[in-house]
């Protein structure tokens, strides 16, 4: 699905509206993925990048 295509965006939104099971699966995956973005993990990544630069 090409990014920036309004028709594809509308189709995806319609699919989520009409398919609660798919919507719930995506919501659950997003919730789990959010735990990859903690301040501790951000600090670790920042430390790695800064160490490489020095």
- Segment 31-50, tens digit of pLDDT: 999 998 999 999 999 999 99
> By percentage, how much of the chain surpasses pLDDT 70?
96
Quick one: pLDDT at residue 18?
97
Averaged over 14-24, what is the pLDDT? 96
Burial of 31 (0-12, 13-18, 19+ CB in 10 A): exposed
- Which pLDDT score is estimated for 4? 81
Query: What is the distance between the alpha carbons of residues 20 and 52, in angstroms, rounded to a whole number?
Result: 45
What is the mean predicted confidence (pLDDT) over 5-20? 94
């Amino acid at each position: 699905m090409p990014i920036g295509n309004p028709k594809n965006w509308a189709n995806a939104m319609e699919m989520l509206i009409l398919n609660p099971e798919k919507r719930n699966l995506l919501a659950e995956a997003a919730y789990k993925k959010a735990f990859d973005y903690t301040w501790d993990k951000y600090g670790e990544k920042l430390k790695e990048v800064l160490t490489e630069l020095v």
